[in-house]
Each structure stands twice: as C-alpha cells, then as structure tokens.
Amino acid sequence: MFRRRKKSEEYKIFVEVLQNGELLSKISRPFDKMGTIRLTSKPDGDLTAPFYPLPTDIDLIKITKRGAEVDLDPNWEGFTTFEGRIEDISSHRNTQYTHIMKKGDYGSIAYNDLRVLIRIGKERPKTKRQADRKPTGEYRGKIFNLWIGEKRDFQILAIGFLAAAWLFGSFTLALLKRPDTRPKNFFDLQPVYTLPFIHPKHLALLPEALQLRLDRTDLIGSSFEYYMNLASTILGFSSRWNPAIYKSTYNMYEDLHRDQKVEIRQLLTEQSLIDRKISQDKLSSLIVIPAIKGETLDQQLLRLHDKIEIIHKNLELSLKYRRKVSKAWENDEKYAFSNYRSVKPIRRGLMTGPAVKDEEEDEPNTADEKAMYKEAKELANFAAVQQSDMRRMREKSVALNPDNAKPIAVSPKNPYVSFLSPEGLSQLNEKLSLIKASTFDLRKTGMLKEPLLGEINPELINKTITRNKFQLQLCFELALRRNQNLQGSMEWQWRLDSRGRISDIELLDTTISDRRMIRCVRKKIANWRFPRPRRGSVEIKYPFYFAPAKG
C-alpha cells in the first residue's frame, strides 16, 4: 500500500547567500526535482546578490540523478562534503571542478566577500528567533550598527553617555556658581582708574559731608554715591529722597524744578497760539529756529559746578570752625569721638586695590577723627597727582563758561525776535545766517523745508546734468518707438537741499505730450545726485531738448 510522505520528511536543498555576514537571499528546492539554481546580480532571479559586481550569471548548482552538482571555477574557495568526507575547495586551482553532494551533505563556499551556504536535508522546525527574523533583499549598512551591535554595546554606550552628561553638567554648574569678580560699577574699578575722574575736594571733604554715614573701608564708593545723588537732586533727575542728602535741600530743588516745568508749559502754549496765527496768514512766513525747552546741557553743567563749589566752601568753613571750638568741648560728656573710634582705619591700596591696614603711623589710637580726615586727604592728594598727569596729555580746549553756554532760543512772546544776550544783538544777522532754519509750507501742513538761501556753483550743476543727460535720451528713444515723429523740449524745475536731496520736481513747460516719457524723465531726475549747497536749499530750472538723431 502506497503511503504519502509528510512535507517535513522530504529532502530539500537549502541555499543562502550572505555578504559580510548579512543575508541577501535564500532558496529551497526539493532534492528529487531536477533543475538549476542560478546566482545572479539582478534583483529578480532564483538566488540573487543585488547589485553585486558578478562578471556573469553563474549556474551554481545543478540537481541531477547523481545528486547536487556544484560547478565552481578557480575563483571560488571553501569546502563541501560528500558522503561524510570533507572536500577542500582551494583558490589555487587552475581549472573548473565539479563537486557532487548527496543527502545529508553541506558546504560553505566564498567568492570574495560573497559567501554561499548549502545544506541538503530535511526542513527544520523554525525557532522563535528565526520566525521573527525578516530576510533582507539587499545589504545596506546602517551607521547605528557601528555603535551598537549587541545589547551589551548599548549598555556600555548608555553608561558612557550618562557619565559624559554628568561631567558636562558639573562643569556648567561650576561655571555658573563661579564668583564673578568683574567690576560692575565705576567705583568697583581699581583706584588708579577711578581717581583721575573724581575731584580731590570730593574726597578731602567727604568725612565732613557724610559724617556718621561715611564708610571708611570704601572712600571712593562713598564719594561717588554721595555726589551722584547730589547731582541728581540739583538737576531734577532724582525721583525720591536719599538720606545722604539733607531733606531741606531735596525739597527746595523739587519745588524749583516743578515750577520750571509749569513755566515751560505756559510758554509753549503761548508759542503754539502765535505759530497758528502766523500760519493762517498767507502773506507771512514762519521761521522756526531750534530752541531748548528749559536748560541746555552746558547750562546744567555750569549750574551743577557752581552749586557743588558752594557746597565745598561751606564744608571747608564748617570744618574750620568746628576744629576751633572742639578743644573747648573735649571734657563735655555729650561730645565724644566714640562713633569714629569704633571704626577700624582700613582702606584700599591706591595702586593694587586690595584692602590693607594703615601701618604708616604707630600711634596707639589712630581710629579717631584725625586719622579719618588724614586718610581722606591722602586719597585726595593722590587723585590730584593723577589728574595733573592727565591734563598734561590732554589737548587744550576752551573751558565752559556762562558766555559760551547761552543758546539761541525762540521768544514765546515775540514771534519775530529771538532771545539774545545784550552783547549779542550786534551779531544777530551773523548768528541767524549760521542757523539752518526751516520754512512752514502752507500747502503741506506739517512739512518743514529749508529756506531758499543756499549757494552753489552753477558749473557743478551743469556738470552733473551733462553727466546724467544720457538717461533722459533713453526715455526719448523708448518714446520714439511709439511715435517716430516725436521731438520737442521740456523745462523742469526742482529743489536741492543742503543734504544733496532733490524734491518738488515740477514740469514748467513742454511741447511733448507723451505721458509715459514725462514720467520716465521725472523718475530719472529724482535719482540724480548733486553736490550739496551751502547755507540752505537752492531752486534749479533747466530746459531739455529732444530730437531724433540724423541719418
């Protein structure tokens, strides 16, 4: 009785092709079925090595009655088995050789980096790992595989990454926590850099000005802070009272600046009414001269210098008279120097900057009022030496004084006269001619223009127009394409200001009616660049003639 064999009991020939260990393709066929297994580099075929540089397709295995015949040329090497015996396939062979394989035989042959595995036997049941494995159609290397090959490699890479992240984080945190020793303020600089910019009297009289509020460990910082607050109070920049300044002084300047702002608002209101009245009169022109609302910077500096000089004189007198009467009060219990003696005389070094102890005197009690003034005096003398060196290297300049600090300002009460000092009335015309004033154009409200008081050499105008006239000829040639009989003239007028800019381009007269040409000419003129006139704007009128070229 005939019994059909199970599929798993059939003998098959199993062939796999690998490149550098990566599976490219595989095939299995019944061993009792005649045929040929061909190795090809084409994507489609029995056994494929896609895009591999094979010289030709290779008939690798022929299944005949004798068995599986492996026909190999001298380029192949490896081994096969025949009935349990191993047959070595060496690349030193000079001729082609055929190897016979029977049931149960196997072999491994290689062609350069291409390897073919052959097994003749029954089909083995797939393991779970083999069932999940997906064959690839071609070998494609992945850069990630160069880093992580196995699970252990991934663990090592993760540990290295965490260690690098910890080191980088620690380094970054250390940089953030590193103390910043860079100076943040002017008085944080070394004394050799700050003292040339501090008046010696600021330092010498500082103990008298601050008294109990003086920080003897930082005389430069205390001086800078006190006089900055004082200057802000005098100029009206301080928004709140500082305890270093007398309350009465702060209130006085606060009232003064408040009254000044009210007065300025009243003057501006009166001036705006006058400006509106003149602008409505078509027969009048309004000349606007740059004016200062309040004080100029020069005036503020002069006033600040004057007030601080008065304060210095008062402090000197106060110190002088207090020293005269201090001896008579030495036995008075209410008058004591304990507030000064409780402060150690430590101050910054003048050249290097770190805090050093005052070892110049060996007196048993140097932490008193006398030592405090001596420290301030020495620092003031050093500042005076530094400033004298700077003055020798500085260029000579005109000192600021009340005469050269007076600006020309528009009078809000008289629309035609400016505020001038009495001695400057004789130079009124000269000063007004040097001012680049503006005219109010009634046709364009809000536009400011320079007056037509400028001067320029006519030859410069002619040279500029001659150099750019070819641009207008291009406009004319384009118009000739529309009208071959076109010719005529145009007279244009434009305004040139002291910055060399062109405005108010106007066509005064023309015998050419081509609107496209007119727009082209206007655009070309607007892009021209002329030399700058002096003292104001000028008005230019110029005729242009257009005619076709003869011949």
Structural domains in the chain (count): 3
Does 475 share its domain with 368? Answer: no
Does 127 share its domain with 264? Answer: no
Tell me the pLDDT band of 292, cut-offs 50, 70 and 90: low
Domain end position, chosen among 345, 374, 393: 393
Q: CB of 404 within 8 A of CB of 228?
A: no
Structural domain of residue 504, as residue ranges? 458-546
Q: What is the pLDDT of residue 410?
A: 41
Does 12 share its domain with 76? Answer: yes
- Range with lowest mean pLDDT among 300-304, 395-399, 533-537: 395-399
What is the mean pLDDT of the segment spanning 260-273?
81
Tell me the pLDDT band of 516, cut-offs 50, 70 and 90: very high
Read off the DSSP letter of residue 449.
E
Asked if residue 407 belongs to a domain, the reply is: no
Does 197 share its domain with 316? Answer: yes
Tell me the pLDDT band of 522, cut-offs 50, 70 and 90: very high
356-381 in b/e form (b: 16+ CB < 10 A) is eebeeeeeeebbbbebbbbbbebbbe
Does 319 share its domain with 190? Answer: yes
What is the mean pLDDT of the segment spanning 120-125?
82
Check which CATH number belongs to the domain holding 41 and give it: 2.60.200
Asked if residue 435 belongs to a domain, the reply is: no
Tell me the pLDDT band of 449, cut-offs 50, 70 and 90: low
Does 195 share its domain with 321? Answer: yes
Does 128 share its domain with 197? Answer: no
Mean pLDDT, the chain, rounded, equals 76
Does 106 share its domain with 219? Answer: no
Which of 292-306, 396-410, 534-548 is modeled with the greatest confidence? 534-548
Tell me the pLDDT band of 390, cut-offs 50, 70 and 90: confident
- Range with lowest mean pLDDT among 89-98, 174-183, 321-330, 407-416: 407-416
Residue 487 pLDDT more than 80?
A: yes
Q: Which two tokens stand for residue 356?
A: 């050093």
Asked if residue 515 belongs to a domain, the reply is: yes
Does 129 share its domain with 212? Answer: no
Asked if residue 416 belongs to a domain, the reply is: no
Residue 328 pLDDT more than 80?
A: no
Check which CATH number belongs to the domain holding 501 and give it: 3.30.1150
Give the CA dihedral 9, 13, 14, 19, nearest 10 degrees. 170
Residue 345 pLDDT more than 70?
A: no
Asked if residue 509 belongs to a domain, the reply is: yes
Asked if residue 46 belongs to a domain, the reply is: yes
Q: Which two tokens stand for residue 361?
A: 């005197």
Tens digits of residue pLDDT in 152-171: 777 888 888 899 999 999 99
Domain end position, chosen among 140, 171, 197: 140
Does 39 share its domain with 130? Answer: yes
SS3 for 294-327 is: CCCHHHHHHHHHHHHHHHHHHHHHHHHHHHHHHH
Full-model pTM: 0.41
Asked if residue 94 belongs to a domain, the reply is: yes
Does 99 share its domain with 231? Answer: no
What is the mean pLDDT of the segment spanning 526-548?
88
What is the mean pLDDT of the segment spanning 208-224?
84
What is the mean pLDDT of the segment spanning 316-325?
81
Better-scored residue on pLDDT, 66 or 298: 66
Q: What is the pLDDT of residue 114?
A: 87
Q: Give the span between the Cα atoms of 236 and 253, in whole angstroms.
A: 7
Does 203 share its domain with 259? Answer: yes
Domain end position, chosen among 393, 419, 435: 393
Neighbours of 411 (CB within 10 A): 17
Asked if residue 26 belongs to a domain, the reply is: yes
Q: Give the span between the Cα atoms of 423 and 416, in whole angstroms.
A: 19
Which of 269-273, 277-281, 285-289, 458-462 is modeled with the greatest confidence? 458-462
Q: What is the pLDDT of residue 447?
A: 46
Q: CB of 118 within 8 A of CB of 80?
A: yes
Q: What is the pLDDT of residue 140?
A: 47
